[in-house]
Chain A
Amino acid sequence: MATVRVQQGAFDIGAEIAALGAGRADIGGIGCFVGTVRDQAHGRAITAMTLEHYPGMTEQAMARIAAAAEARWALLGCTLLHRVGELRPGEGIVLVLAAAAHRQAALDATGFLIDWLKTRAPFWKKERFADGQEGWVDAREADDTAAARWGALG
């Protein structure tokens, strides 16, 4: 039921929402989170962000995260898309959709999915700054805290 995809190219949010709801009328709401590349970090201008991942493990981890959401909420479908390769400021990095009969499940599942995706899927970001320097993004404690609010390891 979950759609899980790692891709280089841009995603079409409208098309993904349409695909999630295609041919059914039992969905009462779809939660949506879109992560995008910012043009600065720590006060420095960013010209590009490169996403690296662990092929094979990534897809398994994403499928497991989707399954965990489906076990917690009565979802009528969910979509997890994550881009890899070199991205520019303003471009989408990640898309999370969760469909349910009622909004609370859709919104909660969307929050859960992005929190777990940020802390449990093997992706790494490298920023390139306007002065040509590059640096790997450090993991943020705030992301672990956000993921922990959903409770035990799954």
Chain B
Amino acid sequence: MTAAPRPLRVLYFAWMRERVGTGEEAVQPPAEVDTVAALVAWLRTRSPRHEAAFAMAASVRCAVNQDFADPDTTVAPGDEVAFFPPVTGG
């Protein structure tokens, strides 16, 4: 018996959350989506809102499993991937 594929948990914060229209979604991209860059390209096809949110890709930061990540970072089923603007705390 094969295990059911585990979804990716995708989180959005600040204006990314407002533009996508949700703070969190569970997605099941195809297996070849195995990096942050590939995930972004795939997420952009999900809806016009996703496309609009990721249109300013240069301003979007990412974390994989709560660690800052870059476009080449590997993503795998079960990971938590977050997208957000550059941080402005302090």
Taking Cβ atoms with an 8 Å cutoff, the residues of A that contact B are: 35, 51-54, 56-57, 60, 82, 93-94, 114, 117-126, 136-140, 143
Contacts and interface: CB of A to CB of B under 8 A. Distances in A.
Interface residues of B, number: 16
Contacts, number: 70
Contact of B66 (A57, A119, A137, A138): A57
B82 interface: yes
A114 B86 contact: no
Please classify the interface of chain B as helix (H, G, I), strand (E, B), loop, or mixed, using the class held by over half of its residues. Answer: loop
A82 B89 CA distance: 8
Contacts of B14: 52, 124, 126, 136
B43 interface: no
A54 B82 contact: yes
A139 B87 contact: yes
Nearest to A83: B89
A123 B90 contact: yes
A94 B90 CA distance: 6
B15 interface: yes
Interface in B21-72: 63, 66-68
A60 B90 CA distance: 16
A63 B56 CA distance: 30
